[in-house]
Structure 1
Amino acid sequence: MLHRVRCAKIGAKLLATAALTSFFGIQPVFGQEAQGQVAQPDSAVATMVKLLVDEGIVTPEKGEALMRRAEAEAAQRATAAPLAQAAELAAPPAGAVRVPYVPETVRAQIKDELRQEVLAQARTERWAAPEQAAPDWTRNIRINGDFRFRSASHFYGRDNALAHYIDVPAFNDGGPYDISGFGGQLLPTINTTRDKRNNMQLRGRINLEATVAERFQVGFQLATGDDPGPISTNSGLTGGFRKRDVWIQNAYVRGELVPGLTAMLGRFDNPFRTTDLMFDPDLAFDGVYGEANLTRLLGHDDFRFAVRGGAFPIQFEPENFPSTSLGKRNWRDRYLFSAQVELGKTFAGGIDVNLSAAYHNFTYLRGHVSEPCDVFSASNVECSTDLLRPLWASKGNTLMFLRDIDFSFADPSNPLQPQYLGLKFAYRVLDVNGSVSVPISDRVQARLTGSYLHNFGFDPKNNCLRGSLGAPVTNVEITDPTNPQQGACDATNPARFVGGNEGYGVYFSLGDPNLFSINPRRARRGAWAINAAYKYLQSDAVPDSFTDSDFHLGGTNTKGYVLGAAWAPFDRISLGARWFSSNTIVDAPLAIDVFFVDLGLAF
């Protein structure tokens, strides 16, 4: 912008120079007609010079010099001209302005002096010196970011179950926990009753992307966050004024090998077309990704057809497991392999239709029962499947105990059962999404989106292959109230398994599309939007680690609605509010309402 302003100054001065010399370059006959009127204060020359001085295009000293030179030339011509010729000049018409003649040499001198003044000022202010020009790399870098301040409130239903829902991350990270009841160890549970009002949070993100070669970019994003988890970048304003953590949220290289064929490596925003039923909007992916935009490759522009896919490592298993054993185990790495096909077309009137189908295969997430494990001979025993604990678990997925405990050396009076929790099922998810967008005006659009999920890794018919070992311990409905220890794989009168593997959502938005998302956008002043959704997500439709972390405060086995609105009082500044109301589909009652008020700024 500064460069443009300075260029404008140069243009203005040169334009003024041309205009002034044009006035001085009127034909000699007009100069002869103007004899005796050179010093008149309302002459065109005086008016022009005054304007140049007022606008700062020439200095007052230069203006005075221009006036003196013009008067001297006029006086010289008046002395040399024959008096008879002057007498024959007709009187000027009323209101006419006569301009003195300026010789070519004077005009050239004025032009040269103005040019020298402009260049001297440019060198002094360093805005037109080639040696002071910014290096090329600065023109290849783009920086943007956003800031969000939030008031977050959580409200819990009066009929919620007490101490029923295990805090899975705390159980696995602080475990193993004894589930026998003989050791007097209390299990960690999540809050289900105590409201949290007006917790203040901030989120700051800054993005840098640089073009390093034609069609190749490298990018970075720094973001706040209270922990290294994969989803939230919110930072709670608590902790006695402690400083905030900043994390590397993204670091990637992207290249368009040929027009329409793109690849990315590193860590980057979710590249797939999906909804928050499948992945939280703030989830970033690690790994490699490729996309073939067949519309561009084939040279068609009347429809959209793209194929994309990638391999994303979730966890590389350690080489030294078990660390307390001489015999090490070889576990396969956990990955997410994804593929998607997308079709779209824009019809007359701007109506846009889009349809996509994706398959997401999470490999080796499910748990397995260990080999018989003696946990009594030593206190730091690692059982063979302890590594299969889920990463960043939330709530909702069907869980199982991982350890087959060998009681050969147990104290009969104190048979402890230190356990870890793992996922009961695999997750191979079909994700189908469709949307229709209809423009209503230049800045208002209506959009309807639908999403459907189905997990092919759901396998309840094999829940009891090993009897009570590996039996589901969540999403189980007790059928005998007198037996609270009733299990889903009991030999007689088993509890009923109630988990499911499907999900769907319907989303409607009206207003400026820049405000349809929860993240701050560069909306123009006066933009507005309203958003509504209904969501139904069964227990094992998706891994509960990666789905929307706001609805039901994260996890699966939930249903409910979302209402929201946003407005931009100024360019790139937005105010918004959202209300989430949700309840469990099966299992004990757990109703959670969430209310957010957001102030967002983007640059």
Structure 2
Amino acid sequence: MGMSGHRNFGRLMRNWRCGVAVVAVLAAAPALAQEAPRSDSAMVNLVRLLTEQGVLTPEKGKELMDQAQAEAAQARAELAQAAPAPNQQAAAELPPPPPGTVRVPYVPETVRTQIKNELRTEVMAQARTEGWAAPDKAAPDWVDNIRIHGDFRFRSASAFYAADNSPDYIDVPEFNETGPIDLTRQLAPRLNTTRDKRNNMQIRARIGLEATIANRFQLGFQLATGDDPGPISTNATLTGGFRKRDLWLQNAYVKGELVPGLTAMLGRFDNPFRTTDLMFDPDLALDGLYGEANFAKLFDQGDDFTVAVRGGAFPIMFEDSDYPSTSSDKRNFRDRYLFSGQLELARKFDNGVEAHLAGAYHNFTYLRGHVSAPCDIYSVENVECSTDALRPLYATKGNTLMFLRRFDTTANPDPNDPRQPQYLGLKFAYRVLDVNGSVSVPISDGVIARLGGNYLYNFGFDRKNICAEGPDGAPLNNVVLSDPVNDPLQGACDVTGPARFVGGNQGYGGYLSIGDPNLFSVNPRRAYKGAWAINLAYKYLESDAVPDSFTDSDFHLGGTNAQGYVIGGAWSPFDGIAIGARWLSANEIVDAPLAIDVLHVDLGVAF
């Protein structure tokens, strides 16, 4: 301990010793009778002594003197009116005290308590001000700048498939990961579309930390479970022989409000745009940089009105500089990004009604596939064709697909060799307009009704040029065969008898929730005892309205080309605990039959 620490500690001990002395004086005032100066009021003498010693301020001393004199006068009046008791008579017959002695016949309890409390208050205030004692603070300052939060969810998840579902839906990620696959000699991996999966047990655990730096910046981290590193689900299925669960870095960011109303964020963070699960899954986190300008706040217009502009650049994939790894002739691909911009208008009215309207444009660059240059796969088996790198990341189902390879058949030494090992790519680009809004109306304390909607339109959808790359780049799904019995292999770009392409580029949804807004989301951060909510939704999402990699992973078990409804509810029996259930029913819009109903029963705990 340094010299400053010794001095502070000594000062603290002196103050507390003085406080203890005062209490002792008040409890044994007669014992000090011979040391106190002569006065008509013992309490006045005592207060004067404390003031002279610096224990009490002059103002406090005068206040207590006046009160002591008044209470002493009242006590003398009461004693004069009362008949002398035997012990009082005995006391009256006692010999007079020695000269200079002051008797204290009565010290009111209220005065003793007040002096003790006021002394404690003054000493503690001085300690906090000068920084040499803080009894109500059990940790250093940096602890106050850190907030830790977490949640755990246990889920029973069941999926029910219609009996007439098509068994021919391709598992695109596995196709590309294990490929290239030659469909003339190999079976393509397929999704389960016919066998029900009941009561699969899943957990989701997340723990996050946010620290405030320089009263202006926030540094945040979050860890979350997940069966794979994919972007849209943090559920971990309880299976695999009691194996340990994976834990992923879900968030790592720094955020700062440079001036009131102007915010920037860097790193990996929760989706900051106002949207719905029709566009992005609720668990989706974005990588990159983000900025927001709230003009109403910038110009000090209060919190009741919002005019906000948001934007960001989010890398999806940086292409390998060594591609193709097996060739000395390298090829450059542009990095894939999501560039997003949004304008939001919002207003809070005096009656508690709140309205939001937002329009965003999301440009996913270089996601679409292209047919390669003629590729010689006959001379060497592990050759990489020029567009193999355009395989989609974490595709699910629904988006229109195409083959990426065109083969150099002139290099085939055997004209009867039918080999055609392929990869799958996306047929269209994705430049999505996202318009969404909501109106919230208070019903009672803690209960509101919220009605919202969302409309999506993909400007990258190009139906007119669907056959620009010839039959090799024809769409593989979302087509209707003109003669499925006699010509089951016909394509949408065949010269004669082509199949009809039926994919679409739009989506819309309606959402109605009533109850506590903390339970409107499938990811409630906090729920309070007695809170409840009922949530309803209708969703319609055509095949190529959005990339199927990033939309809701629960509805239709992920992907696009689905329509249906969601109904659910939640209730909180204790603070931080929520019980809920959801029923999600969805059918395909076009293409082969695929109806999937999903039931979730959840128990969530958060702090």
TM-score, normalised by the number of residues in structure 1 = 0.81
Query: 1: distance between equivalents of 2:108 and 2:276?
Result: 76
Residue segments in structure 1 that go unaligned for 5+ positions in a row: 1-13, 32-75, 87-98, 120-126
Change (3 A) 1:443 1:25: farther
> Secondary structure at 2:149's aligned position in 1?
strand
The whole-number CA distance in structure 2 between the counterparts of 1:227 and 1:568 is: 30
The aligned amino acid for 1:566 is: A
Which stretch shifts more, 531-540 or 518-527?
518-527
8 Å CA contact 1:359, 1:431 repeated in 2: yes
- Equivalent residue, structure 1, for 2:354: 352
User: Counterpart in 1 of 2:81?
Assistant: none
Deviation at 1:159, TM superposition (A): 1.1
Structure 1 residue 134: Cα displacement = 2.6
Shift of 1:361: 0.2
Does 2:530 correspond to 1:530? no
Give 1:385 deviation, angstroms: 0.4
Answer yes or no: is 1:547 the counterpart of 2:546.
no
In the alignment, is residue 394 of structure 1 matched against residue 396 of structure 2? yes
Partner of residue 53, structure 2? none
C-alpha offsets along residues 468-498 of structure 1, whole Å, 9 cap, x if unaligned? 0211111111110211101000101100000
* In 2, Cα distance between equivalents of 1:378 and 1:17: 98
Deviation at 1:138, TM superposition (A): 1.4
- Quick one: structure 1 residues 103 and 509, their matched pair in 2 at CA, closer, same or farther if it must change by over 3 Å? closer
Task: For 1:61-460, list aligned pairs within 5 A.
Answer: 82-83=93-94, 101=106, 134-162=139-167, 164-179=168-183, 181=184, 183=185, 185-301=186-302, 302-410=304-412, 411-460=414-463
CA contact (8 A) 2:26 2:107 kept: no
Look up the match of 1:570. Answer: 574
- Secondary structure of the 1:408 match is helix
- How many angstroms apart in 2 are the aligned matches of 1:229 and 1:253? 23
Supply the distance in 2 between the matched residues of 1:275 and 1:543 (Cα, whole angstroms): 14
**1:480 and 1:290 mapped to 2: Cα distance?**
53
CA deviation vs aligned residue, 1:283-335 (integer Å, no higher than 9, x gap): 00000000001111011124211000000000000110001111100110000
Q: How many angstroms does 1:464 deviate by?
A: 1.0
Per-residue deviation, residues 376-411 of structure 1 (Å, max 9, x unmatched): 111110000000000000000001000011112333
Over aligned residues, Cα RMSD in angstroms? Answer: 3.2
State the Cα deviation string for residues 158-210 of structure 1 (Å, max 9, x = none): 11012x1110000001100002x2x2x11101011000000000010011000
- Deviating runs (4+, > 3 A) in structure 1? 14-31, 76-86, 99-104, 127-133
2 CA distance for matches of 1:442 and 1:154?
37
- CA deviation string 1:345-393 (max 9, x = no partner): 1123111111000000000000011110000111110000000000000
How do 1:509-528 and structure 2 match up within 5 A? 509-528=513-532
Task: Assess if the C-alpha contact under 8 Å between 1:572 and 1:602 holds in 2.
Answer: yes
Change (3 A) 1:409 1:138: same
Tell me how far apart the structure 1 counterparts of residues 319 and 425 of structure 2 sit (CA, whole Å): 16
Question: Which amino acid letter does the alignment assign opposite residue 454 of structure 1?
Answer: Y
Q: Check whether the contact 1:455–1:542 (CA below 8 A) recurs between aligned residues.
A: yes
2:512 to 497, 501, 508: 508
Kept in 2: contact 1:150–1:596 (CA 8 A): yes
Structure 1 residue 81, shift from structure 2 partner: 5.4
How many angstroms does 1:136 deviate by? 2.0
Contact 2:157 2:601 (C-alpha < 8 Å) held by counterparts: yes
Quick one: distance in 2 between partners of 1:78 and 1:389?
Answer: 110
Percent of residue pairs identical: 70
**Post-superposition shift, 1:413?**
3.0
Matched-pair contact (CA < 8 Å) for 2:19–2:116: no
Structure 1's 490 and 573: CA in aligned 2 closer, same or farther, altered over 3 A? Answer: same
TM-score (norm 2): 0.80
Cα deviation code 1:249-287 (max 9, x no counterpart): 000000111111000000000000000000000000000
Task: Indicate the SS of the match to 1:366.
Answer: coil
Classify 1:388/1:17 alpha carbon distance in 2 versus 1 (closer, same or farther; 3 Å): farther
In structure 1, how many angstroms separate the alpha carbons of the residues matched to 2:537 and 2:232? Answer: 21
Q: Which residue of 1 aligns with 2:466?
A: 463
Distance in 2, Cα, partners of 1:131 & 1:560: 56
Work out the CA distance in 2 between the residues paired with 1:130 and 1:213: 25
| Runs (5+) with no aligned partner, structure 2 | 1-17, 34-38, 43-86, 98-103, 125-131
1:161 and 1:82 mapped to 2: Cα distance? Answer: 115
Does the 8 A contact of 1:24 with 1:102 survive in 2?
no
For 1:359 and 1:388, locate their aligned partners in 2 and report how far apart those are by CA, in whole Å.
Answer: 23
Cα distance, 1:414 vs. partner?
2.7
Q: Does residue 1:600 correspond to 2:601, yes or no?
A: no
The 1:494–1:268 alpha-carbon spacing in structure 2 relative to 1, beyond 3 Å, is: same
For residues 11-46 of structure 1, the C-alpha deviation after alignment (integer angstroms, 9 at most, x for no partner) is xxx999999987878999999xxxxxxxxxxxxxxx
CA distance in 2, matches of 1:356, 1:100: 79
Q: Tell me: CA distance 1:24–1:531, structure 2 relative to 1, closer, same or farther (3 Å).
A: farther
Matched residues in 2 for 1:102 and 1:165: separation? 93
**Equivalent AA in structure 1 for residue 300 of structure 2:** G
Q: Structure 2 CA distance, aligned partners of 1:18 and 1:196?
A: 77
1-structure distance, mates of 2:150, 2:455: 32
Q: CA 1:304–1:78 in 2, change beyond 3 Å: closer, same or farther?
A: farther
Cα–Cα, structure 1 residues 445 and 132, in superposed 2: closer, same or farther, change >3 Å?
closer
Distance 1:509 1:21 in 2: 67
The DSSP-based 3-state class of the residue aligned with 1:598 is: strand
For residues 562-590 of structure 1, what are the alpha-carbon distances to aligned partners after superposition, in whole Å with 9 as ceiling and x for unaligned?
A: 00000001111000000000000000100
What CA distance in whole angstroms lies between the structure 2 residues aligned with 1:132 and 1:296? Answer: 35
Separation in structure 1 between the aligned mates of residue 137 and residue 313 of structure 2, nearest angstrom: 46
Instruction: Name the structure 1 match of 2:66.
Output: none
Q: Which amino acid aligns with 2:260?
A: P
Structure 1 residues 202 and 433, CA, compared in 2 at 3 Å: closer, same or farther?
Answer: same
Relative distance call for 1:111 and 1:363 in structure 2 (3 A) is: closer
| Cα separation, 1, equivalents of 2:507 and 2:377 | 40
Aligned to 2:477: 474
Which amino acid letter does the alignment assign opposite residue 538 of structure 1?
A: E
Q: Which residue is 2:63 aligned to?
A: none
